[in-house]
Amino acid sequence: MEKSSIDTTLFIGNDINNLVPGNSWSNLLEELKAFCCVDGKVIDNGNKPFPLLYEEIFLRSLRTRHQPEINVKEFISRKFLELKSGAIHERIMQMKVANIITTNYDFLLEGRIPKANKGVITERLYSVFRHSIVKGKKVWHVHGDCRSPASINLGFEHYGGQLQQIRNYVATGTNYETQKLDQLPFITRWAKGEIYGHSWTELFFTDNIYIFGFSMDFVETDIWWLLTFRARQLLALKKPIRNKIYYFVPTEWAGRSKEKLDLLEVNGVEVVSEYPGKDKAAYYELVIAHIEKEL
């Protein structure tokens, strides 16, 4: 059933992990290249979008070592299981929200590996329904989790499959062989007030979402598709969309991110750039305080 009030959801990216020493994504990327490439080829990161850079790393590994992709993803999984949580993760989990969306594969927010994936569908590859429940919160791992290596969303091919599954659920309808899910697209059910909370994608239409620690690179095709689809619904005016989406960016990054911020704004996202980010820990404390004040 449709909610009478608008709840708050956090959307959290990988940057919060950088506050904990040893959690550097760049270091992990170099380890991944060393693990995959044995032909002496030096892979230059350059300005390559990460999903395509990953495809280069994996394809070179496939040609030289003939190892299946699951071996690569299991390597990544082991590395993420070694990461340590910090004060920022505990601070976020103390916030009075019911849902947290994260693109992170690790369980640093939960503080432990959850016993089970609570998704209404047990997904092996994709993550439309994947979540755990910890301390009364649903934590949605939208790009997979390190407990299920095959689900880890790294390459362009996986991004394409993820987007296909999301678009089916939201816009065109599904064909899952289960009685637990209505096969009608979410947007049709939502227009009739039928909201069941099965997928994190629904929160983009029902909850106020606060996005931080997430670069919103243009390669994040699943998230950008959701935003553009929602923006089209806003303009269609068939049913009012009452929730708000906010994106936090440090003040000094706002100028150099103008193209991205322009696109966010035209897609109905409110940009918050009033806090300096030179001291990263202090920046996230200000972001959290901002959200808690609005709560």
Rounded average pLDDT over 134-138? 93
Q: CA-CA distance, 121 to 183, in Å (whole number)?
A: 13
Strand partners, 209: 9, 245
Q: CA-CA distance, 250 to 266, in Å (whole number)?
A: 20
Residue 115: what pLDDT?
84
Mean pLDDT of the chain: 91
Residue 160: what pLDDT?
96
Q: Which of 78, 142, 84, 77 is nearest to 111 (CA)?
A: 84
**Phi–psi pair at 10, nearest 5 degrees:** -95, 140
* Segment 241-279, tens digit of pLDDT: 899 999 999 999 998 899 999 999 999 999 999 999 999
In the numeric block, which tokens belong to residue 197? 């909370």
pLDDT at 78 over 70: yes
Rounded average pLDDT over 84-91? 94
* Segment 179-209, tens digit of pLDDT: 788 889 999 999 888 888 999 999 999 999 9
Q: CA-CA distance, 50 to 54, in Å (whole number)?
A: 6
In the numeric block, which tokens belong to residue 102? 């994260």
* Segment 88-112, tens digit of pLDDT: 999 999 999 999 999 999 999 999 9
Residue 40: what pLDDT?
57
Residue tagged 């390669």 (tokens): 219
DSSP assignments along 204-265, one per residue: HHHSEEEEES----TT-HHHHHHHHHHHHHHHH-SS-----EEEE--HHHHGGGHHHHHHHH
pLDDT band, very low/low/confident/very high, at 220 (cuts 50, 70, 90): very high
**Phi–psi pair at 176, nearest 5 degrees:** -65, 140
Helices vs strands, H then E, count in the chain: 11, 7
Where is pLDDT greater, at 139 or 61? 139
pLDDT at 116 over 90: no
pLDDT band, very low/low/confident/very high, at 159 (cuts 50, 70, 90): very high
Rounded average pLDDT over 129-152? 95
pLDDT band, very low/low/confident/very high, at 240 (cuts 50, 70, 90): confident
- Give the helix/strand (H/E) hosting 271: strand 269-272
Rounded to two decimals, the pTM is: 0.94
Ranges of each domain in the chain: 8-21+84-294, 24-82
